[in-house]
Amino acid sequence: MLDIRFIRENPEAVKENIKKKFQEEKLPLVDQVIALDAENRKTIQEAQDLRTARNAKSKQVGMLMGQAKKDPSKLAEAEALKAEVKADADRLAYLEGRETELAEQIRHIMLQIPNIIDPSVPIGPDDSANVEVERFGEPVTPDFEIPYHTQIMESFDGIDMDSAGRVSGSGFYYLMGDIARLHEAVLAYARDFMINKGFTFCVPPFMIHGNVVEGVMSQTEMDAMMYKIEGEDLYLIGTSEHSMIGKFIDQIIPEEKLPQTLTSYSPCFRKEKGAHGIEERGVYRIHQFEKQEMVVVCKPEDSMKWYEQMWRYSVELFRSLDIPVRQLECCSGDLADLKVKSCDIEAWSPRQQKYFEVCSCSNLGDAQARRLKMRVKGEKGTYLPHTLNNTVVAPPRMLIAFLENNLQADGSVKIPAPLRPYMGGKEVLTPKA
């Protein structure tokens, strides 16, 4: 969410940013919110003037009432002034109500106006305009056929989607045996990887209040992702970033406590609305999964440095598991409204002969901080921090990349050295069938 003063002083820049995000339907919102803001400031000023006048008149009424004991002619003057005070009070009550209405209307519009994107963001309408920046590791195409990822898992008796369908419906799964162990090993390795980078490990709440949801994401994202608990002001989190950033709601952070570098584990719950292709079936796009996340709260001048560092952590982790990846810069039309800049880390799929998304790193500037009323207290006063987030790993999607890139011709799966301590020392997984 932008600062209303910025919109007031830079309306054309805000409109140009909306055009760059290909959201022309939002252009009228800029003029609407400026007009509402002008009315609101006028209303606030009138209310303040009325309070000042009412206090002065009330004192004058008291004086006149005292004088009326000796001079009855003063009583009529006092009563007339009392009537003015009553009229002022009625007008003030109306103005205070109008202030509340206008503030709500302004906030509703402000939540819809997208954040100002970084000048380095490529301009394009959707993810087809995202730009490959760099590749890490050589993509390998083996000389044997690689089965679909659920078939690989089935060869280890490691997945049961039929039973999950009967229990929970589509978009769920049972992981079992070596595949379930591999799933947890990847999460544990990712946890320790980030701890060794100096991040503090955290397990957050898996449900959050509606005001936190509004603070961390746009309405469009919320509608497409979040599950609401019936009869409660609670939502299941779509990623631990939601509750991790929410941790700082209404808080003043001492500047010396920055940066806050946190890595969190959580299950994630998503509606995943819409139709998806065959390659996004199986365990690629599901309603429930687990994830290790990294979150940073920092000084504004440090946020781009952290952005660069965070996505490189993802690259380092995937390369340590022998998975080739690339960094893809997200274009303007592919950025969620709160994001200043974002990139995806995509893993190589030998079966598909292409890359697919496994991590997403985002710099949200001060948008979440403003929505959640997070502040930093420094030597020169208070200011809004910047917030960033990035996926460390999100199995089971990450398992697709892992299994395909470490699959051997005989159907076994090689376990890279860093993961072996988390797999009881196993160097290879042997299929059951």
- pLDDT, one tens digit per residue, over 193-227 is 999 999 999 999 999 999 999 999 987 788 888 99
Q: In this structure, how many other beta carbons lie within 10 angstroms of the beta carbon of residue 279?
A: 16
pLDDT reported for residue 219: 78
In one-letter notation, the amino acid at residue 73 is: S
pLDDT reported for residue 66: 65
In one-letter notation, the amino acid at residue 207 is: M
The answer to whether residues 206 and 187 touch, using CB atoms and an 8 Å cutoff, is no
pLDDT reported for residue 267: 95
Domains of the chain plus CATH, in order, are: 4-110 (1.10.287.40), 127-429 (3.30.930.10)
* pLDDT greater than 50 at residue 277: no
Question: Over pLDDT 90: what percentage of the chain?
Answer: 81
Q: Quick: pLDDT tens for 165-191.
A: 999 998 899 999 999 999 999 999 999
Q: Quick: pLDDT tens for 240-261.
A: 999 999 999 999 999 999 999 9
Q: Quick: pLDDT tens for 17-51.
A: 999 999 999 999 999 999 999 999 999 999 999 88
pLDDT reported for residue 71: 66
Closest CA to 269 of 311, 228, 305, 317: 228
pLDDT category at 69 given cuts 50, 70, 90 is low
* pLDDT greater than 80 at residue 301: yes
Q: In this structure, how many other beta carbons lie within 10 angstroms of the beta carbon of residue 398?
A: 26
pLDDT category at 275 given cuts 50, 70, 90 is very low
Q: Quick: pLDDT tens for 334-371.
A: 999 999 999 999 999 999 999 999 999 999 999 999 99
